[in-house]
Structure 1
Amino acid sequence: MSRPPEGRLYFRGGCAIRQIAVLPYRTLGSGVDAPIQILLITSRGTGRWVVPKGGLMKGLAPHAAAAAEAEEEAGVRGAACPTPLGSYRYRKRRQSGAAVWADVDVFPFAVTEELDTWDEQHQRERRWFSLGEAASAVDEDDLRALIRSFGAREFRAAASPARLIGAMADKMASKTGVNAMFAWFQKLMPQQSQFFDLFEKQAVTLVAGADALARLAQGGPSSAQHIREIEEREHDADDITREVLQTVRRSFLTPFDRSAITSLINTMDDAIDEMQHVAGAVSLYEVADFEPEMRDMAAIIVDAARLTAEAMPLLRRIADNGHRLHELTERLVRMEGHADEIHAQGLKRIYLEANARGGREADALHFLVRQEMFKRLERVVDRFEDLANEIDGLVIDHA
């Protein structure tokens, strides 16, 4: 077979080849506005900034193959969400000089460990960038758009209603001298701002709990520490929920219907409660190792918490942010469906393995414990779907 001429674009089977990649990220700080950083590496050929990527691997799911590439190329480990963030296309140049189109599926990858040594450390440079810097550093337009959408800082509320009313009051007072009416409004508005502050604070507990849950699912000697972290975040969430409920009773003016406020905060509280139930099962059954499907579900929970943390500040100006909120809730619902599939696959696999070993009593007990763990993880993801529905309801009513 003759080789394509130098520089000619060609395809396998008439279409682009498929690759997989991760978007490695970390959050600096614990607030909903804490900056997100993206890890990029240099390509071996041109030295340009890229994300860790490679080809599909036999026997590995796409996100698992992408995680393996991240460890090999960038020296990082973490939780790879099985639901892709999106995809981009680029021209891959071969040694012959020919080029192919490559379609790359990109998976969110919450970095939990940076290795001191790794396979390609002498062939590549790795560096953490801010979202804006990372988007500017890469060449591909679609990848740039994916990075910019990750966290979507441009959608964050620029000002709370309380500050907007206050600014209006100052302006009106300077022209008309009618301070009394706006002073009355200003006394009421901080209560509205307080609700948003508490929603965002609750989102922080979800992110911290999900991060600890993902680390717990990776196994290792620090399980007790991760369990304590989840328990502490669950206690924090209870306190925040209690404060919201008390504030609802005290407040004359609320940003949303009172039942919508209590339903939203209780659903968030239910999510961290279910994380605590997972941690409790790990402690009760002394689970030391986790099925790969369990780690995948934990990674979905991490990304669901990240999306929740982005969504909460957008509620301050829900009419302006309705489109972005719908995008976030749509992804949450899609991830829940993916988690259901992973749950079913994991249960089937461990059931067949138990049968293949003869169905001994020890195997049956092992299966029951694993079944319980899968069920509890599924409940966590279900609560995030419930949360997506709560947010969609607010958007319908107010946007």
Structure 2
Amino acid sequence: MTSPVLARKGRHRQRYDHENYRLVAGCIPYKLKEGMCSLIDRLEVLMISTPNRHDLVFPKGGWENDETIYEAACREALEEAGIKGIIDKRSLGEWVFRSKSSEMNCSPTSACKGQVFALEVTDELDSWAEQSSHTRRWVPVMDAYGLCRYDWMREALDSFLDLLSGQKITVTSDATAAPTNQDVTPTQDLTTTDRSTMCMIQLPTSTERAIALC
């Protein structure tokens, strides 16, 4: 059995934006089952557990300065859930997260800002770096709403379903660049076609930031 890739530790490569928010990237891993006509009936998403909790989350973690935001989302999926796949580069949205220990602190330094992407899973590893902390679970997409730990996750699921069904979704910036100064500035609209979805989508800029516990 191949040894799992080691998870990155520490924050010495961590990116921050111009407001000093720590930048994170996450994904909604998914697959389509065979033999059913309805997209909703065929669609399953992968969620992960965390110690001492009954609810579930999606893989996410810090975006570091030697990778694109898409590479960060894929790396976190590999480290936390042991999966590989094809990422759709259209953001499902941007959220500001606050930890429980700092939810009363309004300073950007006590929070992180993240984007979430759809990831079509192509490979599931037998072992992975954070297997002792995170178990994975495939669930029907509509069941996932009831298992989500936070409201932002349900909002991301809404955008995810819009994307797969060909509706308009909203993004805040083109995150393809990997600036060495660890600063990210919103840029232009994106219009793109990706093999992991089934349509072309016009993406207007602007989205509401949701404050959530992470």
Q: Could you tell me which amino acid in structure 2 is paired with residue 73 of structure 1? A: E
Q: Distance in 2 between matches of 1:37 and 1:147?
A: 12
Offset of 1:151 from its aligned partner? 2.7
Determine if contact 1:25/1:38 at 8 Å carries over to the other structure: yes
Aligned to 1:285: none
**Is 1:114–2:124 an aligned residue pair?**
yes
**Is 1:133–2:138 an aligned residue pair?**
no
State the aligned residue count. Answer: 156
Q: Distance in 2 between matches of 1:69 and 1:301?
A: 21
Unaligned residue ranges in structure 2 (runs of 5+): 1-15, 104-109, 167-191, 206-214
Determine if contact 1:89/1:142 at 8 Å carries over to the other structure: no
Compared with structure 1, are the counterparts of its residues 147 and 31 closer, same or farther at alpha carbon in structure 2 (3 Å cutoff)?
same
- C-alpha RMSD of matched pairs (Å): 3.2
1:345-384 aligned at under 5 Å gives the runs none
Aligned to 2:82: 75
1:297-316 aligned at under 5 Å gives the runs 301-305=194-198, 308=199
Determine if contact 1:90/1:140 at 8 Å carries over to the other structure: no
Determine if contact 1:27/1:37 at 8 Å carries over to the other structure: yes
C-alpha distance after superposition, 1:62-106 (max 9, x if no partner): 01111011011001000112221222333224xxx4453322200
Please identify which structure carries the higher strand content: 2
C-alpha distance after superposition, 1:175-215 (max 9, x if no partner): xxxxxxxxxxxxxxxxxxxxxxxxxxxxxxxxxxxxxxxxx
Aligned to 1:25: 30
Q: Where has structure 1 moved over 6 Å in runs of 4 or more?
A: none
**Under a length normalisation based on structure 1, what TM-score does the superposition of the two structures give?**
0.35
Which of 146, 157, 165 pairs up with 1:147? Answer: 157
Please identify which structure carries the higher helix content: 1
Q: Could you tell me which amino acid in structure 2 is paired with residue 77 of structure 1? A: K
Please state whether the residue corresponding to 1:83 is helix, strand or coil: coil
Q: Distance in 1 between matches of 2:86 and 2:202?
A: 21
**Is 1:36–2:36 an aligned residue pair?**
no
Higher relative contact order (CA 8 A, sep 6+): 2
C-alpha distance after superposition, 1:272-304 (max 9, x if no partner): xxxxxxxxxxxxxxxxxxxxxxxxxxx952234
Q: Could you tell me which amino acid in structure 1 is paired with residue 117 of structure 2? A: F
Determine if contact 1:38/1:134 at 8 Å carries over to the other structure: yes
Offset of 1:52 from its aligned partner? 0.4
Offset of 1:329 from its aligned partner? 3.1
C-alpha distance after superposition, 1:345-364 (max 9, x if no partner): xxxxxxxxxxxxxxxxxxxx
Offset of 1:17 from its aligned partner? 2.6
Offset of 1:18 from its aligned partner? 1.9
